[in-house]
Amino acid sequence: MENKNLVRELGKSGIMITPIGLGCWQFSKQNNLAGKFWPKLEDDLIEKVVGLSLEGGINWFDTAEIYGNGASEKALSKALQAAGKKPGEIFIATKWWPLLRFASNINKTIDERLDALKPYPIDLYQVHQPWGFSNEKAEMVAMAKLVKKQKIKQVGVSNFSAEKMRSAWQTLNALGIPLVSNQVRYSLLDRKIESNGIMETAKELGISIIAYSPLAQGVVTGKFHDNPKLLKNIGFRKSSSQFKPEGLEKSRPLVMLVKELAVKYKVTPSQIALNWLIHFHGNTVFAIPGATKEIHVKENTGTMSFVLSKEDMNLLDQQSLIFKV
C-alpha cells in the first residue's frame, strides 16, 4: 500500500515522509539501561516488524545511539537490508546522546553512528536531550559542520523547550541550515506542548513536531482500564502517575470517547488516538509509535487510511483539555 498522497514535508527540509514513522527504541536488545525498558526482540521479529511497516506505507524510522549503545541502529539496518531496501529509498532519523558530553563529541562520534547504520545515511540527526555540557548553540554549530561535510542531511532536536528550540533555530538559520524538527512527548493524554510554547513556536518557525509516546504507553487505548492485571507486567513504567488508580480514573472519560469513535470508524482505539495527533494541527505533527507485534504494525499503518472528521477531532480536543497542563 503506497501512501504517496499522505506524505508531508518534514520542517522546511524538502524531504517528504509519512505522518507515521516507526519508533525503534524496542530494538535495543536490552544492551544498556535504556534497552531494559523492552523485552529482547529477536532479529526475525525485528525484520518482520520493519518489513510490515514498509509494506504498510511507512517510509521512515527513528532510532538513537542510546537505544542499546547502537544495538537498535544495527538491528534496523539489518532489517532494512533483509527487506531489500537500498540507501536513499527510506528515511532514517537517529540521535546523539549529550549527557556528560561536550558539543565536540558530535563530530567525534558521527562515524560510529554511520558505521552502525551502514549502508544507510543519516537523514536526520537529532540532539536527544538538552542536558549536555555544551549549550544548544555550540551543539548546532557542530551539527552544521556535519551537514557541510555531508555526514548528515538534516538537523533536529529532542525534548527542547520553546526557548531552546528557538535558540537552536536561530543558530542554524544564521548558517543557512533549517532546524527541521523537535521530538517531544505528545499524546491525547499529554498535551503540555500546547500550553508551554513548544507547539506555537514550532508552527511559527516551520519546525515539525515528532511525537513520541503517542499512545501514552498504551494508556489511551483503554487496555489498562479494561484489564488492570496488565499493570503487573509494565516494568519501569509503574512509577508513572498515569498508571496509578487516580491516573486511570482521570483518563477514563477520554478513553471511553476514543473507544466510541473506534466503533464508529471501524478501527482500533490506538488508530483514533494516532489519527487525531497527525491531523489536528494540520501537517505539523508526525508520530512514531513503536511495535513489538505484527498487530501493532498493522494498527500503525492503518492509521494513515482514514481521517477523523473535524467534529470528532474537536470532541477529542475538548475531552482531553485537562491534559494540557
- The pLDDT tens digits for 161-195 are 999 999 999 999 999 999 999 999 999 999 999 99
Residue 31 confidence (pLDDT) above 80: no
Question: Hey, is 296 helix, strand or coil?
Answer: helix
pLDDT at 176: 97
- Relative to beta strand 8-9, strand 179-185 is unpaired
Contacts with 86 (C-beta within 8 Å, 6 or more apart), sequence order? none
- Relative to beta strand 22-23, strand 8-9 is unpaired
> Among the listed ranges 31-35, 120-124, 261-265, which one has the minimum average pLDDT value?
31-35
Question: Hey, is 29 helix, strand or coil?
Answer: coil
Q: Mean of the pLDDT values across residues 258-278? A: 98
> Which neighbouring-strand residues pair with 275?
none
Task: Answer yes or no: 67 catalytic.
Answer: yes
Residue 59 confidence (pLDDT) above 70: yes
207-252: pLDDT as tens digits = 999 999 999 988 899 888 888 887 777 666 666 788 888 888 999 9
Residue 199 confidence (pLDDT) above 70: yes
Measured between alpha carbons, how far apart are the two ends of the chain, in Å?
38
Could you please report the per-residue DSSP string of 12-79? TS--EE-SB-EE-GGGSTT-STGGGGSPPPPHHHHHHHHHHHHHTT--EEE--TTTTTTHHHHHHHHH
pLDDT at 226: 86
Domains of the chain and CATH, by start: 8-217+268-309 (3.20.20.100)
pLDDT at 304: 97
Distance of CA 207 to the CA centre of its chain: 14
> Among the listed ranges 37-41, 110-114, 215-219, 280-284, which one has the minimum average pLDDT value?
37-41
Residue 2 confidence (pLDDT) above 50: no
Residue 50 confidence (pLDDT) above 50: yes
- Catalytic pick from 67, 120, 125, 212? 67
116-139: pLDDT as tens digits = 999 999 999 999 999 999 999 999
pTM: 0.95
pLDDT at 151: 98
- Cα gap 159→301, rounded to integer Å: 25
- Cα gap 290→41, rounded to integer Å: 13
Residue 159 grid cell = 525534548
Residue 58 confidence (pLDDT) above 80: yes
Q: Mean of the pLDDT values across residues 15-33? A: 86
Q: Mean of the pLDDT values across residues 75-103? A: 97
Indicate the average pLDDT of the chain.
93
pLDDT at 229: 81
